Structure formats: C-alpha cells, structure tokens
Structure 1
Amino acid sequence: MDICFISTVVPGMLKGFVTQAVPISLELCITQSYIYFLVGMAEFFLFAVMSFDRYLAICHPLRYTTIMHRLTYIRLIAGVWLGSFSTTLLPTVLVMKLKFCKNVIDSFFCDVSPLLKNSCTDTTMIELLSLVAASILYISVLVTVVSYVKIVLEVMKIDSADGRGKASSTCSSHAIVVTLIYGSCIFLYAQPAQSHLNKGVAILNTVVVPLLNPFIYTLRNHTVRRSISDKLLIFCK
C-alpha cells in the first residue's frame, strides 16, 4: 500500500519541483485520484483490522489462534479491498462525467477538492458521496480507539513489567502510524476548504508517513535491530 501511495503521488510532485508546473491529462488526473483514494481507504480498513487483531492477541490470547486463522486472514484482506473499491468507485464515475471550465489544479496531485473546484457543473452529489466515504475514516477511528482502550485496560492488569513491555511493544509501532495517518487525514478531509497549510499536511500524509512506515514497523524487530547493530560495528571498525 505504501509503495502504491508513493508511486501515485511522489513522481509528479518531484517533477513539479523542477518545472513548477506538471501537465497531466484529465484521464490520468482522475486515475491518480482514484488510486490515491482506493489505497487510502483500504489502509483505513486495514488499520481497523490490525487494531482488532492486536486486541485479540492481548485481551484473548488463548482464543487468538482459533479466531485468527488463514481463512479469516483471506476474508479480512478481501473485505478490505472490496470495501475500498466499492466506496471509491461511484464518486470517481461521477467525476468522469463532469465538465471542467478550468485546467489548473491548485495542488501537487489530483486531490478531489481542487479537482471539483475546476468543474462548471453541479458537484453536490459527489461532495455528499465523498462525505459518506469520509465517514468510514471515523468508523475506522472508532474501532481503533475502542480496541486500544480495551488493550490499555488489559495491559494495566498485568503485574510484571516484562509482560507490560511485551504487550506495549506489540502495539507501539501500529499506534504511532495510526496516529500520524488519522491526524493528517482528519485535518485534510474534515474541512472542505483547501489552503497552503492543507498542502503541507497532505505531504505528511502522502510522502512522510509511507516513508517512515518501514522504519517504524521493522526497527522494533529484534533481528533487524541486531543486524543493523552488526553492520554499524563493522562500519566503525
């Protein structure tokens, strides 16, 4: 997902740093917007699934293997992508039917808000559908918050410091990523108006977080940390 996210937005953004303006056809612009929201929506679904997975692992460890087995994984991942596809398809189809009076996007990628501002036809239905799609973000936030509240309450019941440390380690990387993504997306899409500040937050959401994700998730792995330490020792010698 992070590779798709970066590959969709960053090449055009980097080209814009050099040329100051990047020409793009309407078809490619709508395609970029669709892929961006398709992957983004799938990531929101996946965050909720991962939060539930961690809730089961910590709060119901003895039942975890009976609930989370291979078939459950397949169903959850299929649900993530099907849910994202069905949520983003209709607004994109409606955007394709719009007529546009302007041909300049006031953003570094084809985000929905600056794209609709270029339309000379009514976009009320698309905006309503976009709000419905954005509500999924809040549902994902709710599932994540409830899962982590229950996790925190369960961790507080653990007597040993080692047990609390292992439980916290299981959730820490996911919690950091979720906080960054949710915070930036709520700021961007909870308000309709776009500003220069919004563009800066969009860079955090589309570039910085996907770039940091591999480090956040892998540096908590003991094998990865030991390998990096060994490489650093060899380099220092």
Structure 2
Amino acid sequence: MDHVNHNWTQSFILAGFTTTGTLQPLAFLGTLCIYLLSLAGNILIIVLVQLDSGLFTPMYFFISVLSFVEVWYVSTTVPTLLHTLLHGCSPISSAVCFIQLYVFHSLGMTECYLLGVMALDRYLAICFPLHYHALMSRQVQLRLAGATWVAGFSAALVPATLTATLPFCLKEVAHYFCDLAPLMRLACVDTSWHTRAHGAVIGVATGCNFVLILGLYGGILNAVLKLPSAASRAKAFSTCSSHMTVVSLFYASAFTVYVGSPGSRSEGTDKLIALVYALVTPFLNPIIYSLRNKEVKEALRRISEKIGLDFGRD
C-alpha cells in the first residue's frame, strides 16, 4: 500500500529528445508550426461543417467529430513535447503524468471507435441508399458519436489504472509524454501480467473494430462492383477513399506501437513512432479530408465569399 501512495506523491522527469545546437530551435519551431497547422486545419473543418448547409450530412458530422477529437488528442502531448524541446528534461508530477496517460489513451480509443462508426455510415450510404437518411437520422448520429466517447474513456480506464498503481523505482521517463511502455520500464516489479492485460484491452478494442471496418468495407466493395456504370463506381469509391486513408494511418501506427512487449523496441524508436501517431496523423487528417474533397473545397469557397460580402457591406 505504501508503494501505491508513494506513486501519487512522487514526480517523474520527461527526457524528451536529445537535441543540441541549431537543431534545438529548428525542432521546436517545426513542431510548433505543425501543431498550430493541425489545430487550424481541424478547427476549420469543424467550423465549415457547422456553417455550410452543403455539409449538413452524417458523413461530415462524423468528420467534424473526428476533427474535434484530433484537436484534443494533439493538445494532450504536443505542449509537453514543445516544453522538453525548449528546456530539455522536464519534471512532471505523477498525478499530471497519469492524467495525461489516461486522456491520451481515451482519445485514441475514442478515435478508434469513431472510425468504425464512420465505416458503418459509408456502408449504409452505399448499400442502403433509399433508407440511409432514416437509418442515420440526426438522433442516431448523436447517439453513435456519444457512444464512441463513452466507450473510449471507459476502455482506457483499465490500462491507465493498472499503470498508475505500479510501484516505480526510477523517475526518468524516456519519452516526451507519459505513455504505457516508457512508464512500465520504470516499475520495480515484473510487469508481464500488466503487459498482457494492456494487450488484451487495447487489442480487443482495436482488433474487433478493425475486423468490423474490414467487414463493412467488404460489403461496400461487393455493392460497388454491382453498380452498372464506371462513373457511379468511381463516385462511390471516392466517398470512401479519405476514410480508408485515415484508417490505414491510424491502424498502421497503433499496431506498430501496441503489438508486442514494451521492451521489444528501443526507446528512440518509441519516440519517433509516437511522433507519427501523436503529431503527424492529426496534422494530415484535415488535409486528407479537405484537399482531396471537392465538397469541402466548395464549402470553403462559399463561406469565404459570404465573409467577403459581409465585410464589403460593412
């Protein structure tokens, strides 16, 4: 019991990245730029979906929810990354550390479930077009979106709680934020049971969701191939291409990080992979959904013209 109490009174030290000389300000500025662009891109999508009537569809509602998740997801870790890039090793209280661990994994699991819901939305739109709006009413959209948040924040309780109750002998976290693997390396006890429990929870959540997405896209592919014209098939595939790209990015990084034991990769590799899923992916998502999407670009043009006209009247 003393061990557990001690966990909550001690502090950790985030090692961050080892950058010296001219690399340090460049790394800081580069990270800051990507962070600000990520925030701007995701907030822009949320605003466009709220303001433009052409985007009042279930697909864009879920895209805006995804962008909302990404704003918080990237903001959970990047401020500590910027701090370590600017000041080097940074102390962090155990309470803040474990809260960061929990919130980061909760948002990650929420995004995982949300990608499944978005695949379901595309499946209903393509396979049941006549009943689509009845099946995916506004009330259903809100319930599905709410369910992803409840499921994500509930599932993340298990790994976060198990890690927070470990006795820790070392204080320096070989990372720029508090994540499972680097924290478990600091434990005084054998963590093999914890590793299996984490793998079971995260594996079941991501694995089952991934199988669901594959099954839904199997149904979509079957329905699209039955369409009479090449133009209609191309249009159907284009509505799914952005989502499939995001799913590929998300699961490629998730499986790389969380499949295998925490000690199976070097600490430097862990940090570099983390940059992909914690910084680069939230930055790319709005680009994928906007630059490759005519409807979003048209909505941006309409809103820009409306703002221009309003300023002109003033």
TM-score by length of 2: 0.69
Runs of 4+ aligned residues of structure 1 deviating over 6 Å after TM superposition are none
The CA distance in 1 between the partners of 2:228 and 2:122, in whole Å, is 20
CA distance in 2 between partners of 1:224 and 1:86 (Å)? 33
Aligned to 2:274: 202
Provide structure 2 residue ranges, at least 5 long, that are not aligned to the other structure.
1-68, 305-314
Q: Aligned with 1:61: secondary structure?
A: coil
What residue number does 1:181 align with?
250
1:45 aligns with 2:113: yes
Partner of 1:145: 214
RMSD: 2.1
Partner amino acid for 1:173? Answer: S
Q: Are positions 1:99 and 2:171 aligned together?
A: no
Deviation at 1:125, TM superposition (A): 4.5
* Amino acid aligned to 1:33: L
Give the aligned partner of residue 91 of structure 2.
Answer: 23
Q: Deviations over 1:99-124 (max 9, x none)?
A: 21100111121110110111113534
- Distance in 1 between the 2:162 and 2:253 partners? 26
The AA in structure 1 aligned to 2:277 is N
The answer to whether the 8 Å contact 1:113/1:194 transfers is no
Give 1:120's aligned residue.
188
Query: 1:157-172 maps to which residues of 2 (within 5 A)?
Result: 157-172=226-241
C-alpha displacement at 1:86, in angstroms? 1.7
* CA–CA distance in structure 2, aligned partners of residues 109 and 194 of structure 1: 17
Amino acid in structure 1 at the alignment position of 2:285: N
Determine whether 1:221 maps to 2:293.
Answer: yes
Distance 1:99 1:218 in 2: 46
User: Using the alignment, how far apart are the partners of 2:82 and 2:196 within structure 1?
Assistant: 32
Q: Is the 8 A contact 2:158 2:198 kept in 1?
A: no
Distance 1:223 1:143, change over 3 A: closer
Q: What is the TM-score normalised by the length of structure 1?
A: 0.90
Deviates more, 1:59-68 or 1:202-211: 59-68
The one-letter amino acid of 1:172's match is S
Please list the CA deviations of residues 43-95 of structure 1 after superposition, one character each: whole Å capped at 9, or x if unmatched. Answer: 11111111111011111111212211122222212221111122111332333
SS of the aligned residue for 2:82 comes to helix
Partner AA of 2:93 in structure 1: S
Q: What SS class does the counterpart of residue 118 from structure 2 fall into?
A: helix
What are structure 1's unaligned runs of at least 5 residues?
232-237
Percent of paired sites with the same residue: 36
1:83 to 147, 151, 157: 151
